[in-house]
Structure 1
Amino acid sequence: MGQGIDPGTGRDHVVIRGVAFGQARAQGALFDPVHPPPRELLSSHERGRALALDQVRILLDAVPTAILLAGADGRVVLANSAAASLFGYSHDAMPHVFADTLVPAFDQGARELFATRADGSELPVDVECRTVVLGNATLSLLTVADATQRRRQEREATLQRDELAHLSRVAMLGELSGALAHEINQPLYAILCNAQAAQRLLRSDPPDLTEIRDIIDDIVVDDRRAGEVIQRLRKWLRKEHVDHVPLGLNGVVLDALHLVRADLLQRGVDVHLELAGELPHVAGDRIQLQQVVLNLVMNGCDAMEHTPAPRVLRIRTQEDNGCVRLEVIDRGKGIEPAIAQTMFDPFETTKPDGMGMGLAVCRTIVESHDGRVWAQSLDVGARVAFELPGLPA
């Protein structure tokens, strides 16, 4: 037996020499393995081939996988017992069936198909088809496996994964209620600050209408942001997909700082930006990543609450080994060793009025973007950073 590539089709083929499928002496046709002539009419050479055919039948019937051999016209020439059982035919009836009736489109290279049984029912099958050359005849050798159980298990596994993910989200609902209050607090606080500033300006004589108009625009932006935070939480709980699109991390940083500029002024915090140019884009949700930046910035401001002026917060972006990294560096008192390992866990906080949700939300968002987040205490202050996989240019 030899193996090679059929130059006409480019498909694998197997050449079998000297086995039971010889040529009939009179017409040079393929030896009929289904209705062979009486043994007494065969030559000794042909009787040897017929005996070899019987042995091949015995071997094929011992194979648990369905095996079919189809002629050039598509009719089944030989089928083992597993094939007859799979397709619901008697063993003797199999040679009267066309292979493409049993497995439509089997010759198109497909590997997962639906087979048609004798009663008309369908079942999913995995099919492999190879070309076999027997003497001067070219046949198709099919191995067919019932894929019903495998596909059912795959569907069940997918459903179980989806259900576990949903249950995990529901289990986190208690944490998320705290996270929601934490996230909504920032735009609401900005709205309050802007509204109070507008009140002061309105008491002026004459009021600065241009400044008031800018303040009202900021209030509208913060109100929309609060709605977007709620919308994304609802999508997450309802199993809805949140699209990740290519984003520039530097732009996310600038947008986030725009949202908290009034708070930074009130706290007396100067932000020093060190944004690297030509950064790769990252795949993400803009609102979620803005929330991470906002949380890290506000945490840095909180850490410097009792720090004498100047209160400087450094924000740095850079590329590192195919990833895009953002660092927020404050000049506060650093990270206490007791919480260094748990500061990203829910409800872990050192603030008297804190909920311990900000950094936990950061970790959840970053990890959902296939990234990582970490913190490091410095001689003066602390560095909190995250990195995300960069997209190919």
Structure 2
Amino acid sequence: MKSSVKKLIEFLEQNLSHFLQHWKNHMYIANHDKYIGYVEHNGLAVFQLVKTAMGRRLCIDEIQQLAYKIAKERAEANINIGDFVYNTNLGRSLVIKYSLQSGLPIEELQPLIDDINYLFDHFSFYAVTKYTELKEAELQEKNLLITQSHKDRLTLLGQMSSSFVHEFRNPLTSIMGFIQLLKFEHPDLKYLDIIEHELEQLKFRISQFLHASRKDILESEKETFFLYELFEEIIEFLYPSFVDGDAEVSTAIDKNIRVFAYKDQLRQVFINILLNSIEAVKEKPKPRRIHICASVSGNFTHIHISNNGPAIPPEIVKTIFEPFFTTKKLGTGIGLYVCKKIIEKHGGHITCTSNEQATSFSISLPLEKKRIV
């Protein structure tokens, strides 16, 4: 056996220059590869392993050391791993091709070819595994950088929007006060109700920006209230919007459900979802339906707000609660993001599902006994 190994190694060494030339002529190598000068050196290192493998079974560390070195170079050169695999298997094929030309009997050659295949199989496995590991680490580092950069921009935007919105809020409060005076002094004056409603909507949008730009909101204290009564107030407030969208609204709310929460914040959540629902059903012919239901199950109150508007594509549903994501031409992309933050602040969660029959926003809030102060 030793003599067969010696003969085969001598034959391969005699043809090494032809072997390397053939390999370099047919391999995939990019001109911009920063390690292009290492190619022949790496090929010779693999050839040395081949010679060692025919004399004895290599230990894993010997294969890994070279495989990891070359994988690191391939990753740093940003080369497609497919090219590396092709070049490795090309080298394997050439080694076996020249081995078959050595003149050794097949019964002596077969065990040696098995050793060569063992080496190349393990070498490819460790190199590809290491390459994948390095690329995943690189991707995670880039994602971390992007995420941090995104957070920094959100923080800056929040600071700017908070200051900017406060400048609007003060004169708006004065205008709304004067509207109340006009309604008192001139109760029959036309359009005051419409103006007041639009100003309330503007105030609501301003509050959204404040919610998005502040971590803690101290505008009110938590209180216990009936969920049914809150929705009655909201539906009355949004009545002009329901009429404008020609939308039918129905409810199925357990009148005994009591909620311990920041009432103004939950009002904002429900108004936002209902306004989005009105916009959605406008895109479909009649009947345009919006349904609100609420019930208790386990330790949670479950609220579902559904509409029969167009289905939301799955890829949009996945990102619908992300900040500044919007499909509306004039949308801010903060409404549902704020809704999510408010619900989570209350110890609950919110989800969205959508199909051809309905789009539903489902909210779960802890029962009153699970108060979160």
Which TM-score bucket, shorter chain as reference? 0.3 to 0.5
The structure showing larger relative contact order (alpha-carbon pairs under 8 Å, at least 6 residues apart) is 2
TM-score, scaled to structure 1: 0.44
Between Structure 1 and Structure 2, which shows a larger proportion of strand residues?
1
